[in-house]
Amino acid sequence: MANLSHDKLGNALILKPSRRIDSSNAKAFEDEAAALVDSGPKLVVIDASDLDYISSAGLRGILTTAKRAKAAGGGLTIACARTNVKEVLAVSGFDNIFGLHASVEAAVAALAK
């Protein structure tokens, strides 16, 4: 998936999708995120600051990634979501399930607890 970058911050994996996660690229997002979780930190932050749109397929990709991280003893949370993405996360209940944070640093701190 060309529009997914990643980094590490402390003991957390930061996944930063850009533009869109929809039916055309959600499977690629899932596959790449799975490979990164399997080979790296199990605490995962989705940095949504560059994400313009997420569909139900994208939500499923986040859920699958969260399950993989949790099964490995970690967790997942979301940071820096724009208003339109935040609305989708709220309607789907993902804001309550995974939490939404104003910064990547706050998200990493929340996962470390």
**Tokens standing for 59?**
């939500």
Which residue matches tokens 């996962």?
Answer: 111
Q: What is the residue range of 43's domain?
A: 4-112
For residue 24, give the 3-state DSSP assignment.
Answer: coil
More confident residue, 4 or 113: 4
Instruction: Quickly tell me which residue has 């995962």 as its tokens.
Output: 44
Is residue 81 within 8 A of residue 48, CB to CB? The reply is yes
**Number of domains observed in the structure of the chain:** 1
0.85 exceeded by pTM: yes
Q: Tell me: the pLDDT tens digits for 9-49?
A: 999 999 999 999 999 999 999 999 999 999 989 999 999 99
Report the Cα 62 to chain-centroid distance in Å. Answer: 6
Structure token digits, residue 73: 């003893």
* Domain containing residue 30: CATH number: 3.30.750.24
